[in-house]
Structures are given as structure tokens and as C-alpha cells.
């Protein structure tokens, strides 16, 4: 895990003399905008996936689009890789520096440039924190809907790069559904505008392609987001189950009933017990699973839906259904869920968070199989599940200090992701591929599909300098890693030599 | 699982014969039901028909996802969904019974709900397309949250077939609202736009705002109580819900003229020169009619931060879509070449040289 990149399997760039690089960048930035000493680089060696570390050659902190353009032109001319970074909260190693790269931090792009209350839009710089947008427009009765659990810290630029989700995305959509316009700078230093202040733009939908592209296509320097009116009423139900499969079935019945909850979350026994001990949320600790179902909208409609969903949960086998009595209890119900990751962090020295998405109907089968895999690999797993949209976060508990545990955790994680693909799902629902899941991409996609991704990448970045070794594996990597995997019933990469 | 109800519809899979034809080379003119042939520039290409490649492959109402082959008529899909009290929220315009799902996705056109629920593109979860080698590429999938790989499936929406035949599409579907009604108001266009803009800043169950040049039409969709309360607050006269079919499918008289422009403008911004038009999307989509084509419309739309499309009528230069800035056009050419290097799929349908 510590040996992060492999020149043979990822990308190979001729080394550039760092004195030459620094000399070229120095005139472009104020002194404090360029970090070159090892001590100053250290904070940038990792992101939210802290097990992966490597040092950039320099860290550049531009303050203007012109500076971003100039830096990228230098990198293009010298052939130096560039890794853009927002708040560094990503969980897949997307902002992990490529050794010897220029780490381009957008931290100084931290201004909300304009709020248009009438149009319900905000024009912001990429370093603005997700939650800061909602806070800035709350007095207008508006909010920015996507709410990844790191929303206090994560930046909107990082959200665009990852197409971040959140607990409310079943109803309010992902990042891509809440964007109007992006300003990007290409590796050649060209500024382009994708999307529009109107409801659509001419030509191909390149804004949608750019969203979630993990920093491989360009650097986002400005974002226009859509704002949503705050709902009139919000209510939450907590339902307990003595069987995870019964809970999964209840989720299907809520959806089939024609209800789109604002949030629909499931936790299994180990996850809910850890969360309860951590947050004192009031969860029933003897349950095998709990569901949190949040409904919002007009007051009388919410009351009617609460009644319908309560009845449905009871009739589908819930052992207990509780409605939060007030805002305080509602917040506590959510505090338990939102604190589930750190809570699990207290019951094991380390945990490894997976991020597959599966069709909801496969949930009982997938949970059973995860239990089996957990026994095979000798590591416990706690499951937290965005049940409404099928996004599963198994948390693998391990001890990095224990010999072999780290490798076992990665092997179990890989097996879980492959399980998600085999039931028709995906290896990542919202955390991104980054560096972490680069090998599993070979399981989900064929060589022709990966070729197409590389061709799209080259259309934006012909030199391949933007965030190399991330998100899209080389075919050489897939040939080496993917030898044992069968994709769509065929041996993948059959035409490639095996190393 | 007990209530896992998979629905399919009869159809046929022409992947093999399509691949054979694609491998034989182009240029190819991709077509489904042929009802959207008017949308785009005239260009040369041998017909590659996807009309026979049809059928619903997978539909499980509790997953909120339907997967169908490109040649499946939109009406067939909507009938199937209606049977489960579900719908296509983006309500694509359909220009005749032959109109197909593939055509709807390739043109990317969204109906009156667009400002309230998002465009067609937001509902595409995955697509399988055919590359110039006749290989099938699958992008995205059948799940809502999926960030593996570039989102090439979203790129297919509105691509006009420029990246190759779309073979099948997985779409997110939504429950039908429990209550729905249509209202009409005597109100001039600009006053109506200001009023509707204010309403959209509140969490009201709006699902349509159309102005026919004389009167404002609003549609409400949602829970019974919320719709009733909003209806009581807004006033106006009730009219049949079917009125909205004519707006959606563009069969209303406001669309009748020798020349028809679709002008997409920032919905709350100035609309100089376009104030008198009929509009949908709360003012974001204007329909300009004329007797002859005035190419100045493109420049005027761009000045207002929008763009224009010539729906009906022939411009002197043969163009249909808003001209792109040179940087954007170059990027378009590179993206097109990434997936179709020899330019065999619908060359020139969107822009000359693309």
C-alpha cells in the first residue's frame, strides 16, 4: 500500500530537475504561494485516505486564474505532472501527489463571488467549503443540496471533481445535478466555460463529463451552483428490525409505494451499536438493523407520508417505529448516522471504508456474502448503507500494527467491490476511484471501455499530465491485475501480453 | 424476493447486424423512428436504422430504473411505467408514435418539468453504445450513485448520435405525483415571469410554467394537501391537465409558423428582443416565430447569455445550432475524435466539421 505508483504500470515521466521547476514557477507566484521545503510539503503528502502517502516536488497556491494558467503552462512545457487539490478530504487518494509533481492547491480560491437570489444560483470559487454555501444563503430561504458527510470541511471544487453525493441525494441529486456552469483551465493554460446560466448550453454536455472526472481533464476555477428552496417541514422516522433482510425489504416497499424520502439510511447491528455508544442517538442497541427515513415538503403532505410510511414499516416487519418528537431528537437520530465512521473508528484501531453501489434488490444477498467474506478474511465488518440509492459503505475493522492485517483488509475490500460489480453495481458510488480503486476499475470495465476513457482524457490533456495514475488504469495495469478476473463472461485483455 | 417484479416487453436485439454494418464503414446516418430528423443540419450518410432494435430489457419498479433498447417507442415505455404509477419525469417531447427512446436521448430534449426536476440528462444512469469497431461499450449502469470512470453516459444525452449508435439506455424513473392540476391566469409575459420567479424561490409544488403569449399556464404536482393549499393561494382558473400535452409535444398553435427558433436564455435575466415570444420553463426557453430566418437571432441570444436553435426553417449557411467559440469548438472536435476518430457517425449533423 505504501509503494504508491509504478512507472511501468501507471505513467512514466522523465524526471525534471526541481531547481529548474522552482525557477520557472517562482516568478509566477508570491513567495508564500510556493512551498518547496520537505517540512512545507509534508501536509500535502496525503488526503483523506491517509494510508497512501507521497511527496510532490512543490506545492503551488495560486490566487488568480491567470496564475493557474501560468503554472499549468510551465508544467505543460516542462512535462511535469499536476495534481489539483481542494480541501484534501477525499477518501480514495484522488489528491495523493504523484511523486515529483506540482501539487496545485486551490485553497486560496475561497470566495463566494455572487449570490443571485432571484435566479437561485451562486457563483463560487472552488476552495469554498460545501457547507459555507448553504450558510451564506440560508437567510434567503435557500440551500445548496448535495451534502457529503464531510461538508463542514470539503470544498465545492473537490465536490465537482468527485461528483460528490450525500445523504439527501436520492431526492435532491448529486453534484452534477446541482451545477449550471464551470470555468476550467486546461493543461495548455486555456480558459474554457462549460454549461450556461441558461437551462442548457449548445454542443456536447462537457460540463457533465467534467463533473466527477477526478482532476484528469482540467482544473476547475469557478463554479455556478443551483440553490434549492429550504423545505417547509422535515420529519424523521426510526425503525428497528431484527433481521437485516427484512429491513432491506421494507426499503423496497417504501420506494414501490411512490415515496421519495429526503434521506433513507440503514445501519446494521455492529454499526448502530458503535454509533449509539459514540453519539447517544437513542438507537435500540439490540436491533439487527435500523432504518432512518427522513421526509420533507409541505407540512400536511409530510404528515400524510409519515403516517403511510409508519404503517408500511410496521406491516413489513419493523419491531419498533419511532418518529422524532422534535428538532432536537431529529438531530440526534442523524448525529448517530453522521458519526458512524468515527464511531466505528473507536471500536477498532483502523477501519477501511468501502463505497460500492448495488441495486437495492441485491442487498440481502450482498450482506450475506459480505458476512461470509468477513469470516474468510478474519476481519469484522460494520455496514452503513445509503439504502435509498443503493450506496453501501462496509467498514472493515483491522489493526494496521498487526502483521498482515492491512493486506487482509485490502483483499477483503477488493472482494467486496468485485461482489458489488457482480450483482450489477459499481465499485464506487461517491468516493471516487482515485488511487485506491484503480485495480478494481479493470473488473468493472472492458479494455475497449478503458481505451475510450483514455481517448477522452487525451482530448483534454494530450500529454497525460493531469493527475496521472488515478481514476483510469492503464491497460498494462489491467493486464497484470485483471488476469484472474472475468468480465462480461470473457477473459479481459486477451490481446495483451501478461507480465 | 417476494415483490421483485421484473417487467420486460417483447423486442429484438440487432446488436450483431448493427455491428456488421458499422464495421463496414461510414459515413452513417443513425435513425430511430425518424421523427426527429428535422433536428440538426442536413448531412450525407447511409441509413443505419435502430428502429428494429427494441424492447424493454429490465424494469423493476421498486428500483426506480428501466432499461430499454434504443428503438423502443417512448409511448411503449410510458405506458409500461403508467401501469406502475411511475413516469419519465423529464417528459420528453414526442413527435409521433414512432418516436423512440434512443432518439429522445440523442436529441436530449426535455419537457415542461425541466426547471423543476432537471433535464433528461439527469435521468440517464447508463448507456451501451457501439464504437466504430462494432464493439459494445457500457458506460454507467443501473444505479443512481456511480462515480467509476468518466460519465460518458451523460455525454450521450444531446449528442445527436455523434459518438455512435446508442444501443440501450438505463433511465431513472419517478413515482407519479399523487395530485396534479393545471391553472391558467390572464397575465402578460414579463409580469408572469417576475411572478413565477418569486414563486420558484419557495418550496411550492410547481411542475410547469408556460406562457402562450397571452396567458400564463401553471401546473402543480405533489401531495394532495400541498397542491390544494397552493392552488388556493395562487387563484387562477383550472384547465384540463391535457393542455400540457400540447406544450410538451409542441402541438399548440404557438409553435405554428414557417420559422421557429428555440431560444434558451438565463431564466431571470433580460430578454430584450424576445419579450413577446411564448415561453416555457418559467421563461428559460422561448419560442420565437417568424416568416423568414434572421441569422441575427444567434448573436442576440448570445448577448443575453443564452443560445438559439433553429427548429424550423433553413438558414443561408445551413447552420441550426448556436455557433461555438473557437476554443470550445476545438475541444468538441477532439472529444468527437476520441470516440469516433474517422468521423463515421452522423458527421456534420450538429456542426459542420464535427
User: Is B232 in the A-facing interface, judged by CB distances under 8 Å?
Assistant: no
Q: Are residues B145 and B276 in the same domain?
A: no
Give the per-residue pLDDT at A491: 42
> Which residues in chain A have their CB less than 8 angstroms from residue B327's CB?
190-192
Domain with A458, as residue range(s), is: 447-484
pLDDT in tens, B164-199: 999 999 999 999 999 999 999 999 999 999 999 999
Does B226 touch chain A if contact means CB atoms closer than 8 Å?
yes
Taking only the tens place, the pLDDT of each residue in B40-70 is 999 999 999 999 999 999 999 999 999 999 9
Residues B157 and B202 in one domain: no
Nearest CA distance, B346 vs chain A (angstrom)? 14
**Are A335 and A356 in the same domain?**
no
**What distance in Å separates the CA atoms of residue A6 and residue A296, rounded to the nearest whole number?**
49
Best of A93, A200, A315 to mutate (most B CBs within 10 Å, chain B): A200
Are residues A160 and A214 part of one domain?
A: yes
User: In this structure, are A243 and A309 located in the same domain?
Assistant: yes
Q: Do A449 and B324 touch (CB under 8 A)?
A: no
Q: Are residues A275 and A290 in the same domain?
A: yes
**Residues A222 and A257 reside in one and the same domain:** no
Instruction: Tell me the average pLDDT across A491-497.
Output: 42
pLDDT (tens place) for every residue of chain B, 354 residues total: 334 456 788 889 999 999 999 999 989 999 999 999 999 999 999 999 999 999 999 999 999 999 999 999 999 999 999 999 999 999 999 999 999 999 999 999 999 999 999 999 999 999 999 999 999 999 999 999 999 999 999 999 999 999 999 999 999 999 999 999 999 999 999 999 999 999 999 999 999 999 999 999 999 999 999 999 999 999 999 999 999 999 999 999 999 999 999 999 999 999 999 999 999 999 999 999 999 999 999 999 999 999 999 999 999 889 999 999 999 999 999 999 999 999 999 999 999 999
- Alpha carbon B92 to chain centroid, angstroms: 5
DSSP-derived letter for residue A426 is: B
Q: Do B222 and A298 make contact, defined as CB atoms within 8 angstroms?
A: yes
Residues A286 and A364 in one domain: no
Give domain status of residue A276, yes or no: yes
CATH of residue A328: 3.30.70.2190
> C-alpha cell of B71?
428503438
DSSP code, position A329 = H
Instruction: Looking at the complex, report in whole angstroms how far the Cα of residue B351 sits from the nearest Cα belonging to chain A.
Output: 9
Task: Classify residue A363 as exposed, middle or buried by CB count within 10 Å of its CB (0-12, 13-18, 19+).
Answer: buried
> Residue A462: closest CA among chain B residues belongs to which residue?
B334
DSSP code for A159: H
Number of domains in chain B: 3
Give how far A203 is from chain B: nearest CA, Å: 7
Q: What is the CATH number of the domain that holds B141?
A: 3.30.465.10
B147 and chain A: CB distance < 8 Å anywhere?
Answer: yes
Please tell me the total count of domains within chain A: 5
Residue A440 lies in a domain: no
Residues B127 and B37 in one domain: yes
Shared domain for B88 and B164, answered yes or no, is: yes
**How many other CB atoms sit within 10 Å of the CB of residue A407?**
12
Contact residues, chain A, for B336 at CB < 8 Å:
204
Cβ atoms B158, B108 nearer than 8 A: yes
User: Residue A449 CA to chain centroid, in angstroms?
Assistant: 22
CATH code of the domain in which A225 resides: 3.30.465.10
Domain residue limits at B260: 253-312
**Per-residue pLDDT tens digits for A66-113:** 999 999 999 999 999 999 999 999 999 999 999 999 999 999 999 999
Q: Do A205 and B154 touch (CB under 8 A)?
A: yes
- Residues B73 and B120 occupy one common structural domain: yes
* A324 and A238 fall within a common domain: yes
**Cβ contact B219:B180 at 8 Å:** yes
The reply to whether residue B269 touches residue A197, judged by beta carbons under 8 angstroms, is: yes
> Is the CB of B10 inside 8 Å of chain A's CB atoms?
no
Element spanning A277, H or E: helix A269-279
Q: Say yes or no for a CB contact (<8 Å) between B3 and A252.
A: yes
Considering the domain architecture, whether residues B158 and B187 belong to the same structural domain is answered as no
B121 CA: distance to closest CA in chain A (Å):
9
Q: Is B289 inside a domain boundary?
A: yes
Q: Note whether A209 contacts B223, CB cutoff 8 Å.
A: no
- The 3 state secondary structure assigned to chain B is CCCCCCECCCCECCHHHHHHHHHCCCCEEEECCCCCCCCCCCCCCEEEECCCCECEEEEEHHHCEEEEECCCEHHHHHHHHHCCCEECCCCCCCCCCCCEHHHHHHHCCCCCCHHHHCCHHHHEEEEEEECCCCCEEEEECCCCCCCCCCCHHHHHCCCCCCCCCEEEEEEECEECCCEEEEEEEECCHHHHHHHHHHHHCCCCCEEEEEECCCEEEEEEEECHHHHHHHHHHHCCEEECCCHHHHHHCCCCHHHCCCEEEEEECCCCCCCCCCCCCEEEHHHCEEEEEECCCCCHHHHHHHHCCCEEEEEECCCCCCCCCCCCCHHHHHHHHHHHHHHCCCCCECCCCCCCCC
Which of A92, A202, A217, A385 best probes binding to B when mutated, by most B CB atoms within 10 angstroms? A202
pLDDT surpasses 70 at A444:
yes
Cell of A407: 493486506
Cβ <8 Å between A204 and B158? yes
**Are the beta carbons of A202 and B119 separated by less than 8 Å?**
no
Please tell me the pTM assigned to this model: 0.96
- For residue B216, is it within any domain? yes
| Residue B144 to residue A192, Cβ atoms within 8 A | no
Residues of B in contact with A142 (CB under 8 A): 201
A448/B202 touch (CB, cutoff 8 Å), yes or no: no
Closest by CA to A453, choosing from B350, B149, B81, B70, is B149
In a domain, B347, yes or no: no
Q: Are residues A205 and B1, on separate chains, in Cβ contact within 8 Å?
A: no
Mutate to test the interface with A, among B59, B93, B148, B340 (most CBs of A within 10 A): B148
Residue A284's closest CA among A248, A321, A251? Answer: A321
Residue ending a domain, among B201, B219, B248, is B248
Count of CB atoms within 10 A of residue A482's CB? Answer: 26
Q: Which of B151, B285, B309 sits opposite A199 (nearest CB)?
A: B285
With CB atoms and an 8 Å threshold, state whether B265 touches A198.
yes
Residue of chain A with shortest Cα separation from B133 = A448
CB contact under 8 A, A199 and B281: yes
- A359: nearest CA in chain B? B143
Where are the alpha helices (H) located in A339-474, listed in sequence order? 340-347, 363-377, 405-422, 441-444, 447-460
The closest alpha carbon to A302, from A334, A261, A332, A263, belongs to A261
Please report the pLDDT score of residue A345 as a whole number: 87
Amino acid at each position: 500500500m505504501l509503494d504508491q505508483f509504478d512507472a511501468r504500470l501507471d505513467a512514466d515521466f522523465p524526471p525534471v530537475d526541481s531547481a529548474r521547476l522552482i525557477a520557472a514557477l517562482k516568478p509566477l507566484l508570491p513567495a508564500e504561494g510556493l512551498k518547496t521545503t520537505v517540512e512545507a510539503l509534508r501536509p500535502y503528502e496525503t488526503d483523506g485516505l491517509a494510508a497512501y502517502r507521497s511527496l510532490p516536488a512543490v506545492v503551488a497556491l495560486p490566487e488568480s486564474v491567470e496564475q493557474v494558467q501560468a503554472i499549468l503552462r510551465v508544467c505543460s512545457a516542462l512535462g511535469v505532472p499536476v495534481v489539483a487539490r481542494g480541501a484534501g478530504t477525499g477518501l480514495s487518494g484522488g489528491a495523493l501527489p504523484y511523486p515529483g509533481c506540482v501539487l496545485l492547491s486551490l485553497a486560496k480560491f475561497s470566495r463566494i463571488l455572487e449570490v443571485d437570489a432571484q435566479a437561485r444560483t451562486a457563483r463560487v470559487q472552488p476552495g469554498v467549503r460545501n457547507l459555507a454555501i448553504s450558510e451564506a444563503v440560508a437567510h434567503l430561504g435557500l440551500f445548496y443540496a448535495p451534502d457529503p458527510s464531510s461538508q463542514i470541511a470539503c470544498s465545492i471544487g473537490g465536490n465537482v471533481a468527485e461528483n460528490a453525493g450525500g445523504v439527501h441525494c436520492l431526492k435532491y441529486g448529486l453534484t452534477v445535478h446541482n451545477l449550471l456552469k464551470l470555468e476550467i483551465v486546461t493543461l495548455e493554460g486555456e480558459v474554457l466555460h462549460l454549461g450556461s446560466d441558461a437551462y442548457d448550453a449548445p454542443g456536447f454536455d462537457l460540463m457533465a463529463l467534467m463533473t466527477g472526472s477526478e482532476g484528469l481533464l482540467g482544473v476547475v476555477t469557478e463554479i455556478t451552483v443551483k440553490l434549492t428552496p429550504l423545505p417547509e417541514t422535515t420529519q424523521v422516522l426510526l425503525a428497528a428490525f431484527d433481521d437485516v433482510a427484512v429491513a432491506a425489504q421494507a426499503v423496497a416497499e417504501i420506494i414501490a409505494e411512490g415515496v421519495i424520502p429526503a434521506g433513507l439510511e440503514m445501519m446494521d447491528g455492529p454499526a448502530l451499536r458503535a454509533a449509539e455508544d459514540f453519539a447517544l442517538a437513542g438507537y435500540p442497541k439490540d436491533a439487527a438493523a435500523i432504518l432512518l427515513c427522513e421526509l420533507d415538503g409541505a407540512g400536511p403532505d409530510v404528515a400524510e407520508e409519515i403516517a403511510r410510511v409508519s404503517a408500511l414499516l410496521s406491516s413489513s416487519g419493523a419491531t419498533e417505529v419511532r418518529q422524532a418528537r422534535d428538532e432536537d431528537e431529529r438531530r440526534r437520530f442523524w448525529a448517530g448516522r453522521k458519526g458512524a465512521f468515527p464511531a466505528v473508528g473507536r471500536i477498532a484501531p483502523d477501519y477501511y471504508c468501502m463505497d460500492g453501489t448495488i441495486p437495492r434488490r441485491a442487498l440481502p444477498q450482498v450482506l450475506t456474502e459480505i458476512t461470509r467474506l468477513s469470516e474468510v478474511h478474519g476481519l469484522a465488518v460494520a455496514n452503513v448503507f445509503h439504502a435509498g440509492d443503493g450506496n453501501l459503505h462496509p467498514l472493515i475493522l483491522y489493526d494496521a500494527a498487526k502483521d498482515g492485517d492491512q493486506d487482509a483488509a485490502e483483499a477483503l475490500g477488493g472482494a467486496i467491490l468485485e461482489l458489488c460489480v457482480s450483482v450489477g453495481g459499481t465499485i464506487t458510488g461517491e468516493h471516487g476511484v482515485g488511487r485506491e480503486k484503480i485495480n478494481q476499475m479493470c473488473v468493472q470495465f472492458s479494455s475497449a471501455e478503458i481505451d475510450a476513457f483514455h481517448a477522452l482524457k487525451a482530448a483534454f490533456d494530450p500529454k497525460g499530465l493531469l493527475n496521472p495514475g488515478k481514476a483510469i488504469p492503464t491497460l498494462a495495469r489491467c493486464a497484470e491485475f485483471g488476469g484472474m478476473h472475468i468480465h462480461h463472461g470473457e477473459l479481459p485483455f486477451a490481446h495483451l501480453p501478461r507480465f | 424476493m417476494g415483490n421483485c417484479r421484473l417487467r420486460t416487453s417483447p423486442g429484438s436485439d440487432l446488436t450483431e447486424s448493427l455491428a456488421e454494418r458499422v464495421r463496414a464503414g461510414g459515413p452513417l446516418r443513425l435513425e430511430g423512428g425518424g421523427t426527429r430528423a428535422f433536428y440538426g443540419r442536413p448531412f450525407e450518410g447511409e441509413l443505419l436504422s435502430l428502429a428494429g432494435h427494441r424492447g424493454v430489457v429490465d424494469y423493476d419498479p421498486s428500483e426506480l430504473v428501466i432499461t430499454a433498447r434504443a428503438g423502443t417507442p417512448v409511448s411503449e415505455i410510458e405506458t409500461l411505467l403508467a401501469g406502475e404509477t411511475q413516469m419519465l419525469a423529464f417528459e420528453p417531447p414526442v413527435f409521433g408514435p414512432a418516436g423512440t427512446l434512443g432518439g429522445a436521448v440523442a436529441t436530449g430534449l426535455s419537457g415542461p418539468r425541466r426547471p423543476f426536476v432537471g433535464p433528461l440528462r439527469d435521468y440517464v444512469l447508463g448507456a451501451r453504445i457501439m464504437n466504430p469497431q462494432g464493439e459494445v461499450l457500457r458506460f454507467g449502469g443501473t444505479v443512481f450513485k456511480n462515480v467509476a470512470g468518466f460519465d460518458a453516459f451523460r455525454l450521450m444525452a444531446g449528442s445527436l448520435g455523434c459518438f455512435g449508435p446508442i444501443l440501450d439506455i438505463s433511465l431513472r424513473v419517478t413515482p407519479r405525483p399523487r395530485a396534479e392540476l393545471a391553472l391558467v391566469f390572464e397575465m402578460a409575459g414579463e409580469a408572469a415571469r417576475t411572478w413565477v420567479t418569486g414563486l420558484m424561490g419557495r418550496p411550492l409544488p410547481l411542475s410547469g410554467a408556460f406562457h402562450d403569449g397571452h396567458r400564463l399556464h401553471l401546473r402543480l404536482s405533489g401531495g394532495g394537501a400541498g397542491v390544494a393549499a397552493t392552488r388556493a393561494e395562487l387563484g387562477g382558473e383550472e384547465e384540463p391537465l391535457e393542455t400540457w400535452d400540447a406544450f410538451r409535444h409542441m402541438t399548440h398553435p404557438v409553435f405554428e409558423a414557417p420559422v421557429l427558433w428555440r431560444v434558451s436564455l438565463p431564466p431571470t435575466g433580460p430578454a430584450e428582443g424576445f419579450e413577446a415570444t411564448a415561453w416555457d420553463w418559467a421563461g428559460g426557453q422561448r419560442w420565437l416565430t417568424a416568416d423568414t430566418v434572421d441569422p441575427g437571432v444567434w448573436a442576440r441570444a448570445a448577448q443575453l447569455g443564452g443560445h438559439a436553435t433553429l427548429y424550423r426553417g433553413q438558414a443561408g449557411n445551413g447552420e441550426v445550432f448556436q455557433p461555438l467559440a473557437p476554443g470550445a469548438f476545438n475541444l468538441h472536435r477532439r472529444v468527437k475524435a476520441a470516440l469516433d476518430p474517422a468521423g463515421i457517425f452522423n458527421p456534420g449533423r450538429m456542426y459542420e466539421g464535427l
